[in-house]
Chain A
Amino acid sequence: MPLSPSENPPVTSPPRAGVRRRLILRAILAGLLGCAGAFGLDALLFRTKMYPQLLEPDSSTGLFELTLRRETKAQQQNGDNLVATLGDSRLGYSPKLADELAPKTGYVFRQAGLAGTDVRSWFYMLRDLDPTARRYRAILFALNDYDDEDGWGDPADDIRVLHYTINRLRLSDAIELARSFDSGALQWEAFRGSVLKGLVYQRDIQEFLSHPLKRIQAVRLNNEGYPTWTWNYEETPRNMVGLQIDWSTWQVVFPPGADQDQIDTVKAFLMYPVAPQTGRFAAYRRQWFGKIIDRYRGSPTKIVFVRLARGPIPRPGNLVRKKSSSIREFARRPNVLLMPEHAFDSLEHPEFYKDGMHLNREGAARFSTMLAEEVAKLLGPPSARGAAR
């Protein structure tokens, strides 16, 4: 069958068409089976416990998994009046200190938040932590602001969520998670990562293959120690005393001996230039908090929003004109509660902060107590079935 019939004629006759077609289909089938096999291998290793139990404990996925495991276990050890808290690194409180008030408040606090996470990660965390959506008396979300202020980055395009939650993602999440990103490239990255988890685990696997024994030891150590280390964790006592900000001239005086981290956090969290208010942040919060709240519709679990103290020196409110408050909108729903916005204003002093955005030991201790008391006030008396066991 020449492609160019004007030239030399064919010298060989083709084999019988039926046989040939069958053999070609067999070859294509083998190719497809190969692809299916690769997918099966991925599923076998990464969608079972086989590889996830060997994840680097000090990675985003590893910490997410350790936290989830710790909190799942804690559900069995505590009574019905559990309050799960979710937030990022700014939710600096000690459940140990908050729980010292348990005899008085009746509530046991559990910290399921993780540095670097946001509401999208919390959705996947809660889905596996509380599959019936009835385990907790309240789920508390710690936020920087009830109003929606757009930053310079697009919150929907934070790919870290894929790395935190990868072990919790199901095949059915692939499209929804991908679509939650605005950038096409990130949509693709999220989609393929959700389908083929090995792509997301790449670096973890390569490091594991380099030092397998070391990894196994680290995993064992963390599995045993993580709940205790985190329970007993104490923040640094260093503070930001001496920090001064003149908002009229945009001048800052750093505490004597301030380190780079302290300087950077002040600049990033307090002294940042106002970004154009596009409404992206509000849309993002509406989408993901909306999903969480919908999940708890009709559940006895309350959704509580808490506005954290705004920093060692709060930014003046007049720097930006915020156009909406998705959180206040949610507060109109039946099982959503808003903690008074200024409940923690008394912590907004340099002596309670270790840097420009995080509480120090003293700040965290005070906040823990205050949080426990405020939550108890907001939720009312605990259920009759008892608080901490």
Chain B
Amino acid sequence: MLFNTVQFFIFLAVVLLLFYASPRGLRKYILLAASYFFYACWNPKFILLLLTLTAIDYTAGIWIEKTPLGRRRKILLILSLTANLGFLGIFKYYNFVASNVSLLLGKPANSFWFDIVLPLGISFHTFQSMSYVIDVYRGEQAAIRNPTDYALFICFFPQLVAGPIVRARNFFHDLLQWQPPSPDDVSRGLFLLALGLTKKMAFADQFAKVANGYFANVAGHPGMVTAWTGVLAFGMQIYFDFSGYTDMAIGMALLLGFHFPVNFRRPYLAASITEFWHRWHISLSTWLRDYLYISLGGSRHGRWNTYRNLMLTMLLGGLWHGASWNFMIWGGYHGALLAVERAIRGDRRNREGWSWLYPLKWLLTMALVMVGWVFFRAADLHQSLIILGQMFAHPSGHTLFQPWHVGLIVVSLVLAIAEEKLEWFERLMEAPVWAYASALALMLFCLEIFGVIDAQIPFIYFQF
């Protein structure tokens, strides 16, 4: 049940109706049942996996809290993390490791393969669950005693399959001190739902058609201009796809009285890779920072260790996205760029905002990010190298965009700059009804005339 289907909106309407029509004591059970139903619509068998992970970390949380600081407490943490990473490893990385071992042994890549289906959203809910256990271990989060509350934290349907990765303290704050959504929450929620749907169907899916056409037949689309437009199309697709999904998740949560963190902050306006990662998939990058980078020592042990930590964090961040060398390279590439920037910048904080050098820096950052997307999207390393070869060959080829595609890019860039400078979204939330309604009407009209209605292109991050 994808977010961009009629079925999902019927499901959401039923959930909202049941939620608000029920006595307060029943509401979280309704959310829990709805979340399991939502997950079961994809594959009911994996509910068992979800329940197992929930049970492990729920128990681990309580035990860790009961155990005083020391070796036993650490062992409990390690056991919990091993279980989480074990499941993730088996389902997500087994075949990748097995094929590499096979190749090392000179056997066909699929010699040790198993027919494994990747459970939907496993990377997201595993990370979310791990962060809870680590927070309990660090004493930053009280262990949750009510299993229903904990189960809901893991499987809450708006963010179950593709985040944003919600921190336990934020989620339980909303759950345990639940308040009906404020009028502002309702306005934001409705607008974000529509905005997310528009981003996904009118923008991401239109660019997906271009990008899919290009990446499916790179050899048939030679030339530098072709390669850059094909990759740019994917860059647009992945941004609108993922941020659209996130907007919808945040919007739905708001309508249910929950507050999710911001996950994107106009990343394509970034003027450095560091800034890009402060704006892109923020819930993951802060997770990696808090639970990996800082655990590795962060920037506390000198320059070279900082570079190593950045590199390791991003390598693992890349691997988190998928079990392939391409994702590793993508992560490593960003790690290297972050390290280089860090080396140039030194310990000075990265400054965001306008300067005369901004256009140049922005252009360079965009180009570097686009080069990274090649590894992210290409089928394999070989295809990545072919595309990169085309991108940096002598000028040739033709644009894959129709003029109206360019129009969509320009409009979204203008809106992003306007949001950056004028915060139109915030102003709109406080604007008179007619202004809010007009903006919503325009957006829905845009969805009508640009939305890819029947293709049902899945959200990219659902595969992670």
Contacts and interface: CB of A to CB of B under 8 A. Distances in A.
Interface of A: 1-12, 14-15, 20, 23-24, 26-31, 33-38, 40-42, 188-189, 196, 198-199, 201-202, 205-207, 209-211
State the 4 A-B residue pairs at the shortest beta-carbon distance, nearest first. A34-B440, A37-B441, A23-B183, A38-B444
B146 interface: yes
26 contacts: A4-B146, A6-B146, A7-B149, A7-B172, A8-B177, A11-B177, A20-B182, A24-B181, A27-B186, A30-B433, A31-B437, A31-B440, A33-B433, A33-B440, A34-B436, A34-B438, A34-B440, A34-B441, A37-B442, A37-B445, A189-B454, A199-B448, A202-B450, A209-B403, A209-B407, A210-B403
A213 to B, nearest CB: 11
Contacts of B217: none
A42 B448 contact: yes
A344 to B, nearest CB: 41
Contacts of A189: 454
A8 B146 CA distance: 12
Contact of B179 (A1, A24, A33, A199): A1
Given A3-B176, A189-B454, A199-B448, A37 B183 contact: no
A272 B179 CA distance: 67
Contacts of A206: 402, 404, 449-450
A207 B405 CA distance: 11
Contacts of B454: 189
B175 A3 contact: yes
Q: Is chain A's binding surface mostly helix, strand, loop or mixed? A: helix
Contacts of A211: 403
B22 to A, nearest CB: 11
A35 B444 contact: yes
Interface residues on B, range: 35 or more
A7 B28 contact: no
Interface of B: 6, 24-25, 27-28, 145-146, 148-149, 172, 175-184, 186-187, 190-191, 194, 402-404, 407, 433-434, 436-445, 448-451, 453-454
A189 to B, nearest CB: 7
A27 B187 contact: yes
Given A24-B183, A27-B186, A42-B448, A37 B176 contact: no
Contact of A30 (B25, B187, B442, B443): B187
A9 B173 CA distance: 10
A366 to B, nearest CB: 45
A4 B437 contact: no
A38 B443 CA distance: 8
A34 B439 contact: yes
Contacts of A31: 186-187, 190-191, 437, 440
B24 A1 contact: yes
B441 A201 contact: no
Contacts of A33: 433-434, 437, 440-441
A373 to B, nearest CB: 48
Contacts of A6: 145-146
| Residue with the highest number of chain B CB atoms closer than 10 Å, among A3, A8, A31 | A3
B173 to A, nearest CB: 8
Contacts of B407: 209
Contact of B148 (A4, A15, A36, A198): A4
A5 B441 CA distance: 40
